[in-house]
Structure 1
């Protein structure tokens, strides 16, 4: 090996000792001194970064799958007292919301329950009292108690695929809209359920519940009023073939197409979502299709566009980071 040609700037003395030094170095490292180092640990450290990023973002997805965040919003002109059952883990399952106020609770996967609004309530400082509609006894906190009919119910079963609906089977006392909100960049949209119309305004007189001053405060179901098997889908009517829509359920359906109007109104009334969404439940929503936004993991996410407002930027950043890490890994693995 001609070291003079490789290192022309060295003096005579340095050139004399250079061959021996290079040979010793070669023997110690098991390679030629001008060859690149074995990728060794540095290559694996470079590869660990993209793996960490993948783990981090998939971990965020797993966190979203482990629970659902519910935001209850009162857009009514008067106070509403939302109830949740079973609600022992959610502040007792009872809240008071003035017009424009909201409250948030988190439910685990596996939870199956109901949310509804109570109206005309009068509770003392200890939470004792009664409600004009939807009451669950004499307490603000409903815990495991159901609401008295008539009441508009939002129903949920949380699992790998969530099931949700808004039911008028027990009657109507408030417009209620359930809007799934995105929790990840892969959001493709899930449909809202419920009713933004007010059935109290066109409630048939035989179903109407009137409060003080003769104002209609709720609309009962035909089953609750008449109690027959045909209206209640019982006995010989306890199947979807025999139990067909009635005059009253058709009126309910015309006003609220995305809500249960009677017991077997499943095809157009039950909704599913397999994207681990959060949910916004709005009382007296003026528009079912309006965009609903909330904060999830410090990110503003909206339902209207079907995507997180920060998703495109996050996706680009993630791709750039993965590309950079791949280049670094190849650099460490390639000969110099």
Structure 2
């Protein structure tokens, strides 16, 4: 399996209010994790070569996201996830499509909520593993290569659409089609009116425990 592994640790006791999140690159190419959340951990980004890992420290109640930027050149122009041609994103969200790891630590009832989302598209597999908690659910995330089954009109190829070359990302139905139905907005903004589209179902079939559209909580949101 080839993926970006993100593991987070629970506080050792009630007086220890700092968490550690370990980001481990198992992809056969460099990945530049991007990070957006309170405290701007690690300046919002860094480089990880194959089999490298790095720990970041966050507050016990941290709410933020982590994604991977890929195929970045010497000027930090990335084919996917680009956050402004710089290694440290410093609070700037990357450009879609990319796979997202989401964290809401100590959200309610002393539970951590975490998930992997494909709502804004896909670029690399991501897996989340909790360590140190009790009765934790494993967020299987997405360890399949959706780029291999991405519909042609959704493909990002070397940072550009519909060109020859390797597919490096897959746009979300909302981003590609821009319709209220695909984006779960307007008249389709509730669970009773917005349903998983054909393309979103392709995402779900490949990654059953990742969010494929906005109202996908039942099989995609995990707690510990």
* TM-score tier (shorter): 0.7 to 0.9
133, 145, 164: which one aligns with 2:92: 145
134, 137, 158: which one aligns with 2:105: 158
User: How far does residue 87 in structure 1 lie from its aligned partner after superposition?
Assistant: 6.4
CA deviations over 1:175-210 (Å, ceiling 9, x no partner): 000111125xxx333322311111001111111111
Aligned to 1:173: 123
8 Å contact 2:82–2:94 — kept in the other structure?
yes
Give the alignment of 1:1-336 within 5 angstroms: 60-63=12-15, 66-86=17-37, 88-124=39-75, 129-159=76-106, 160-182=110-132, 187-211=134-158, 214-273=165-224
Unaligned runs of 5+ in 1: 1-58, 274-336
User: After TM superposition, where is structure 1 displaced by more than 2 Å over at least 4 residues in a row?
Assistant: 86-89, 187-190
CA distance in 1, matches of 2:177, 2:135: 43
8 Å contact 1:133–1:173 — kept in the other structure?
yes
Normalised TM-score (structure 2): 0.87
8 Å contact 2:38–2:62 — kept in the other structure?
no
Unaligned runs of 5+ in 2: 1-10
Normalised TM-score (structure 1): 0.59
CA deviations over 1:307-330 (Å, ceiling 9, x no partner): xxxxxxxxxxxxxxxxxxxxxxxx
Give the SS at the match of 2:120: coil
8 Å contact 2:118–2:172 — kept in the other structure?
yes
CA distance in 1, matches of 2:216, 2:74: 36
User: How far does residue 91 in structure 1 lie from its aligned partner after superposition?
Assistant: 1.9
User: How far does residue 216 in structure 1 lie from its aligned partner after superposition?
Assistant: 0.6
8 Å contact 2:191–2:215 — kept in the other structure?
yes
Number of matched residues? 207
Change (3 A) 1:256 1:239: same
CA distance in 2, matches of 1:87, 1:142: 13
Which of the pair is proportionally richer in helix? 1
**Cα RMSD, aligned residues only:** 1.7
Give the SS at the match of 1:223: helix
Give the SS at the match of 1:268: helix
Bigger Rg over Cα:
1
User: How far does residue 67 in structure 1 lie from its aligned partner after superposition?
Assistant: 2.4
User: How far does residue 63 in structure 1 lie from its aligned partner after superposition?
Assistant: 4.3
Change (3 A) 1:153 1:234: same
CA deviations over 1:205-239 (Å, ceiling 9, x no partner): 11111128511110000110110000000100000
8 Å contact 1:86–1:145 — kept in the other structure?
no
User: How far does residue 123 in structure 1 lie from its aligned partner after superposition?
Assistant: 3.7
8 Å contact 2:24–2:53 — kept in the other structure?
yes
Which of the pair is proportionally richer in strand? 2
User: How far does residue 88 in structure 1 lie from its aligned partner after superposition?
Assistant: 4.8
